Amino acid sequence: MKYPYVIIDNDNKITDSIQISLEQQPNYICTGIAKDEQNALDIILERRPRIIFLEPEVPGLHGGKTRYSLLTELSKYMVRLPEFIVITKTTDYAIEGIRNRILDYILKPFSKGQLCRTLMRFEKDFDHYGDNTLCFRSYGDYKFVEVDDILYLKADNNTTDFVMSDGNKVEAFKTLKHFQDLLPNHFVRIHNSYIINTHYVSRIHFGKAKCAIKNTKDLIPFSKSYKNNVEEIKDSLAKKSLIYV
């Protein structure tokens, strides 16, 4: 399971310390760093992190300090908010943090052990919840899609096309590599230009090096460098089959 996180702090030493503390935990991936509330709002809606490390004293949208107004802003767009871990130098925001049901409140300077214990509690108490929506932002326009409705992803230079089960196509202004580590494990890369949702695979033709996808006539090519991934898809689907002959 991958846990993308975002850091909101204008102190470079703190952002570096958080990333260094988590570098030995491969399931935690930093997907953005923001130095103010406006930038944080855009990053969170676009990248949908599971965890947010928040310094309440960064510049806010409507005042000199963010405090917890970011949670109110996010509630306008998200059904379920990410878990917030406040890391700050004062206890002034602790009571308000409790009222906002934050995951933890850590005082600076912090230790690696403090972060690890907080994340262990997160995995124990919140890991069974799944965020199944992606948000694509373009010039103030926010488009939300369900992960289960994605058939496959196709690279197009520095952008990525999401091909949906209803026949629509959604363009994201990020590379295919950006999404490779963020999507659930049943999304598998089979080509430099393609990631497929294995739940929709209806046929694997090794002779033609192509995968057929349900709800579409498209045949998705796979390359030799990703053939092992395709073999794993085949084995996984075969094990789940009622009859294998």
Contact 54, 66 (CB under 8 A): yes
Residue spans of the chain under pLDDT 70:
1, 126-131, 138-140, 241-245
Read off the pTM.
0.59
CA distance 88 to 54: 8
Q: Give the amino acid at 233.
A: I
Which pairs count as long-range contacts for 215-220, CB under 8 Å and 24+ apart, including other chains? Answer: 215/151, 215/165, 215/167, 216/151, 216/163, 216/167, 218/151, 218/152, 218/163, 220/152, 220/190, 220/191, 220/194, 220/196
pLDDT at site 242: 59
Instruction: Provide the residue count of the chain.
Output: 245
Separation CA 70–CA 117 (nearest Å): 25
How confident is the model at residue 232, as a pLDDT?
93
pLDDT of residue 119: 93
Query: Which pLDDT does position 245 carry in this prediction?
Result: 53
Instruction: Specify the pLDDT at position 133.
Output: 75
- What's the pLDDT score for residue 7? 97
Bridge partner list, 51: 5, 83
Compute the chain's Rg from CA coordinates.
20
